Amino acid sequence: MVKALTFMLALLMLSTNQACQAKVVVLVNPKNPIDKLSRAQVVDIYMGRFNNFPDGQPVSPLDQSPDSADRASFYQVRVGKTIAQVNAYWARLLFTGRVTPHRVLSDSVAVLNTVHLNKDSLAYVDSQVLDGKVKVVYRLKQGRAFQ
Amino acid sequence: MSDRLSFRIALAVAILALFGAGIVSLVSYIKTQASEQANAQRTLRQLGLTVQRTATIATYLDNQEIADDAIQGLAENDLVAAITLTSVNGLNISYGDSSAHSASPASIISPGSPVRVRLISPFTPDEVVGELLIYPRQEQIDRNARAAALERAGLLGGYTLVIAMVVMFVIQWQFVPTLKQVAANLHGIRPGSNDRLSMPTSHAQDELGALVGDINQLLALAQENIESERQLRQQIESLERRFRLIFERASAGIFLIDSRGRLIMTNPAFIQIVGDSINSRIVMQDVDCLTEIFADPESVRSIVQRALNNEVVSAEDLRLAGLEEEPRWVHSLFSRIVDDAEGHPDGQHYVQGILTDITRRKREEQLMRFHAERDPLTQLHNRRSAERELSTMLSKSRAVEGCLAICLIDLDNFKPINDTHGHEAGDKVLVTVAARMQGILRSDDLAARLGGDEFLVAVLGQDCRQMIEAVARKLLDTLTQDIELENGTCVRVGASLGIALSGRGNEDIAQLLNLADQAMYRVKNRGKNSYHIYQPV
């Protein structure tokens, strides 16, 4: 079973020339009591549906810069939308005046730092840049990304 | 009549047209209304799909503003009565009065029930985030549908009516006038005449032309039939005239009697034969005519019965009744006639009789027979007739259980008288002897001259021997008396009588004559002027 999964993972990594981009993970401050989020919970929070973690504490999601590979990968793989589609969606939300856009950070390092400092942060980075000061609550499963 | 025909055609077409237009309009109305309703439903669903995306986002986010945005656009449409947008997280936005629709349970299944659009999360394919209900403005839709249906029905009905009118006018202009003309022509034609219908020029090839042709054929056939019937009637009339002529002018009397013997019909010849007084007494009267007509009605009745039963035509000579001195005879022919004409289904049976007056012929016949049977000189039976009479008497004697006695008489001394006084004197003697014989005999007895001076008498009875002996004695007594000749001289003859009696094995005329002859010669040999009865030895 484990061998089979490892084999599949290896196969996936081989089959994509952007294997490194695909390994986006969702993370929170280690002090945050949340240990795990479902895909739907991640999407609902990032798409502006919920402003709180499932346990009720407020959440402030962090976005990377619009042209970053991590951002494209996250939305493409996670939400199933292109960046342009996501931008259009947000434009509509912003038009109502009731939503504030996510805070945008310039790179992975800034993201990691922010998460490290803020208990209510929710962010995504490439798994390769992970350090021990954050808690991963959701790992992207590849394969569902390219539809 | 033709006016009525065209009126009726017009009426029928009008009724059919109205009926057809009504049906067409009704069907069109129902179908149009249904399709308009379906159209409205489709339009509402399309409207729902148009705003589905926005509504989905609104319910996904529970965002009032986006929801208003989506609904505002829908509400503009005049088919929409009310809109309800609900999300799973509690957002509930309504526009218009949807309660009126949901309050009435009937409207849920009626065309007024809302169009339901399920809203699925844009990011999670299986997650339902809300529902959009669009309530149709049913009265508006109904109004629109009704208007469209009415317009459509009106158009179709009008179209049908116009076509019907055109058909009616075509019939009225093309068909009815020709039919009127044909009918008028036909009305004027007398069956059996040479007149025929004229072929309508514009209808020579169609059914009307065929009808005219057929009518003309029928007319020709009728004329032929009437003509042949007329000829037949003429033939029958002339035939009848001839038959009547035959009946009226026939020399034979013709008459008809029914099965009960009543006289039904007679012709003039019959009246002449039977007599006017008798005829008028019996013709068409409920009396038995045979008794009045014939002398022997019983035998005629049996003849008539035979004719009725067997259809055998019997021809008889019959004597007529009547008190005339000389009997009158008719030759009658009877035959059965079965009248199976109309009115007599069982066949009334009649007997037809044909009478010919044969009184004169009968008289001549009797005269001839008399001459043939009698000796011309003495008027007694001649030898041949005597033999026949004897046979009759012999068979009659057997019937009455009597006997027949015959007596041969030979005159003695006749030849010398003949020789001396001549033939005329001889004839005188013979005539006198014959007259004397007849004077002695009864009418039933037989007297004959066998030839020359040989005579015969015969008697018949229970006791013929006594009778013949009495006769013989009288004969001997009278024959031997004087006979006065023309010239005044008297002569006398004698007689030898030989007698034979029937019975005891003598049952044959020739044998009896032979025996009588033997007895007579015995007398002659013994001295004449006596009689002898043959005695078997």
pLDDT digits (tens, 9 = 90+) for B239-273: 999 988 988 888 888 988 888 888 888 888 888 88
Is residue B76's pLDDT more than 60?
yes
For residues B184 and B206, what is the distance between their CA atoms, to the nearest angstrom? 20
A93 touches chain B (CB under 8 A): yes
A53 has pLDDT over 60: yes
* Contact flag A96-B63 (C-beta cutoff 8 Å): yes
With beta carbons less than 8 A apart as the criterion, state whether B405 and B501 touch. yes
Model pLDDT, residue A140: 66
- The predicted pLDDT at position B312 comes to 66
Nearest CA in chain A to B69: A96
The answer to whether residue B176 scores a pLDDT higher than 70 is: yes
What type of residue is B116?
Answer: R
Share of chain B above pLDDT 70, in %: 93
pLDDT category at B347 given cuts 50, 70, 90 is low
Distance from CA of A8 to the nearest CA of B (A): 25
Contacts 24+ apart (CB under 8 A), A74-77: A74/A24, A74/A124, A74/A140, A76/A145, A76/A146, A77/A22, A77/A24, A77/A140, A77/A142, A77/A144, A77/A145, A77/A146
**Distance (Å) of CA A96 to CA A38, B58, B83, B379:** 28, 11, 21, 179
A132 in helix, strand or coil?
coil
> What is the ipTM, given to two decimal places?
0.71
Four-CA torsion B381, B387, B391, B392, nearest 10 degrees: -20
**In this structure, are strands B253-258 and B348-357 parallel, antiparallel, or unpaired?**
antiparallel
Alpha-carbon distance B472 to B478, whole Å?
10
Do A43 and B57 lie within an 8 Å CB cutoff? no
- How far apart CA B458 and CA B478 sit, in angstroms, is 17
Structure tokens, B423: 């033939």
Contact A80 B123 (CB under 8 A): yes
Grouping H, G, I as helix, E, B as strand and the rest as coil, residue A103 is strand
Answer for the pair B101, B84: CB distance below 8 angstroms, yes or no: no
Report d(CA B264, CA B283) in Å as an integer: 6
pLDDT tens readout for residues B38-75: 888 888 888 888 888 888 888 888 888 888 888 887 88
3-state secondary structure B434-458: HHHHHHHCCCCCEEEEEECCEEEEE
End-to-end CA gap in chain B: 121
**Would you call B63 and A43 a contact, using CB atoms and an 8 Å cutoff?**
no
CB distance B163 to B20 below 8 Å: no
Q: What is the pLDDT of residues B313-335, one digit of tens each?
A: 667 888 888 777 778 888 888 88
CB B335 within 8 A of CB B341: no
Q: How many CB atoms lie within 10 A of CB B441?
A: 16
Does the CB of A141 have a partner CB in chain B at under 8 Å? Answer: no
- Please name the residues in contact with B274: beta carbons below 8 A apart, sequence gap of 6 or more: B253, B266, B293, B320, B355
| Whole-number Å distance between alpha carbons of B95 and B80 | 10
B66:A92 CB<8 A: yes
Mean pLDDT, rounded, for B456-465: 89
- Residue-averaged pLDDT of chain B: 84
CA–CA separation, B305 vs B288, rounded Å? 14
Residue with tokens 């090839």: B205
Question: CB contacts < 8 Å between A and B, how many?
Answer: 30
**Do the Cβ atoms of B413 and B494 come closer than 8 Å?**
yes
* Exposed / middle / buried, residue A62 (Cβ in 10 Å: 0-12, 13-18, 19+): buried
Q: pLDDT band for position B112 (50/70/90)?
A: low
Asked whether residue B108 carries a pLDDT value surpassing 50, the answer given is: no
Residues 6+ positions from B218 with CB-CB distance below 8 Å: none
Band (pLDDT 50/70/90 cuts) for residue A20 is: very low
Neighboring chain A residues of B65 at a CB cutoff of 8 Å: 96-98
Cα-to-chain-centroid distance, residue B25? 64
Strand partners of residue B283? B263
| pLDDT value at A146 more than 50 | no
Cβ neighbourhood burial of B243 (10 Å; 0-12, 13-18, 19+): exposed
Helix residue ranges, H only, B250-284: 268-274, 276-282
What pLDDT, on the 0 to 100 scale, is given for residue A147?
Answer: 34
Determine the length of chain B: 537
Taking the C-alpha atoms of residue B337 and residue B335, their distance in angstroms, rounded to an integer, is 7
